[in-house]
Structure 1
């Protein structure tokens, strides 16, 4: 579902406000995709509440991960990457592409996870399929924001609408 800037900005600010509060009544993730023409890559940042991610990973059999703590499980990054690559898929110019794990960092109660897709000479269109946390929270929303040379387009995905396409031609 394609969403205009007039709608997505107020919704985005609402969700970002929720990210900085202690308790979050909404279930939302934000996936920012930046096309780096010089490096011919997509730089992807995924922002998720830590407690929501822990629930999802626990349901996959990964418990006691302690994300962001001193006693964090040594395999946590691997489990997070596997979860993300299972739940988020990208096709660029009608070709399926694979992301590489770059790393993660903590910010209060959220974790930023960084991925990169290489060998993207041109970005004409991108299709994103995302069912991140939708199997855990029925009201989960996933905001996808794609930036190509300062031109920003957005998708709002959910359990009912898990994929969308953005055209930059």
Structure 2
């Protein structure tokens, strides 16, 4: 009888762990320097529901992403948000990025950015505060490829700035 109870408990505990919702807050920013184009190309992916919640709260809007009622001018809000939360320095010089666009893929939003007229690149300083205001557990993973060198850093609400040297 004791064996059956112990077996039942060992069976139920793992099942309960799958039914309890545990939310992870993670974005991925990929940075690649394309010397032949003299540009830094940036792709950011975030969970759609998280970015939607943050923008809805910050700008008092209702984006309704991927629905027929989606705001037609949502790129304005994405651009404003990204300019507020994301900053780059290339070789100690602040650089503005161009917003190329976005696309939806499942429960993710991909943002495409570019920094032009970069002749050489020895370091990138990045400040990434995406979603950290609304989600204190948010982590922003930065992966880069410059001159065949790969570097990675993990930023969060307490440490939102990182330096990549090549």
TM-score by length of 1: 0.83
Instruction: Mark the CA change 1:48 to 1:97 in structure 2 (over 3 Å): closer, same or farther.
Output: same
Output the CA distance in 2 between the equivalents of 1:78 and 1:51: 18
Which residue among 67, 70, 77 is the counterpart of 2:68? 70
> Structure 1 segments of 4 or more deviating over 3 A?
none
Residue 24 of structure 1 and its aligned partner are, at CA, apart by 6.3
**Structure 1: segments with no counterpart, 5+ residues:** 1-22
Higher gyration radius (CA): 2
Partner of 1:111: 109
Equivalences for residues 139-150 of structure 1 within 5 A: 139-150=137-148
Between Structure 1 and Structure 2, how many residues are aligned?
146
Of 148, 157, 164 in structure 1, the residue corresponding to residue 155 of structure 2 is 157
What is the SS of the residue equivalent to 2:67?
A: coil
Residues 71-110 of structure 1, C-alpha deviation per residue, up to 9 Å, x if partnerless? 3211101101110111010000000000011011111000
Aligned to 2:11: none
How far apart are 1:61 and its partner, in Å?
2.1
